[in-house]
Chains A and B, each alone.
Chain A
């Protein structure tokens, strides 16, 4: 199974853009799906979307469709989550998680990245 290491905490102003990363190591990156999960302060886990690192399949939750972009760079085994214009309501911890292709459970998780959006 891969190990996932996320980029650090971010403090941004409303309207700013942001791209956070999730670096994968320990196994072949292209054998995995990478998912992004939001956890707002004091709240539960929500799927934002998932991407197959071995192909072009990307699936977004309807709520997040058009609000974020999920991508991968296979050359450096890294997945990304990006916003073009942040809002205060985007303040949350964002986790990446991995599932081997063909499995339906998310075995490995990043440490989480706290994104704070405040004017």
Chain B
């Protein structure tokens, strides 16, 4: 099972909006489910869930984070970019391809200029 494809890096100025894509196949992102989630990881820290089920924000997560999906591509949007948003972002999807039935994206480094 190959990792889902994300851009290696995305940057933006404070206050701007940025998007991070996560491209897979019909076996994972494009499957008949909404099992795509997104995780934020700051340097030296554990990943943190920021989007579940394609577009749901867990309690306590800023409403500047939003998610969507179209066909085989999921997208994370960060609006009103802030310095604290710098870090690595990973998508994750349920997959029917093989065990253990989940696959991460390659990861995207977000830089706030």
Contacts and interface: CB of A to CB of B under 8 A. Distances in A.
Nearest to B90: A45
A95 B58 contact: no
B18 interface: no
Contacts of A44: 3, 88, 90, 104-107
Contacts of B1: 61-62
**Secondary structure type dominating chain A contacts:** strand
Nearest to A36: B100
Contacts of B90: 44-45
Among A44, A49, A110, max chain B CB count under 10 A is at A44
A104 interface: yes
Given A44-B90, A47-B104, A106 B99 contact: no
B102 A47 contact: yes
Interface of B: 1, 3, 33, 35, 37, 39, 41, 46-49, 52-53, 58, 88, 90, 92, 94, 98-107
Contacts of B46: 95, 109-112
A19 interface: no
Interface of A: 35, 37, 44-50, 59-62, 65, 95, 97, 103-107, 109-112
Contacts, number: 72
Given A44-B3, A44-B106, A44-B107, A106 B92 contact: yes
B101 A59 contact: yes
A61 B49 contact: no
B37 A45 contact: no
7 contacts: A44-B88, A44-B106, A47-B103, A50-B101, A50-B102, A95-B46, A95-B47
Contact of A49 (B33, B92, B100, B104): B100
Given A44-B106, A45-B107, A107-B58, A59 B100 contact: yes
Contacts of A50: 100-102
A43 to B, nearest CB: 8
B53 A104 contact: yes
A45 B106 CA distance: 8
Contact of A46 (B47, B94, B98, B104): B104
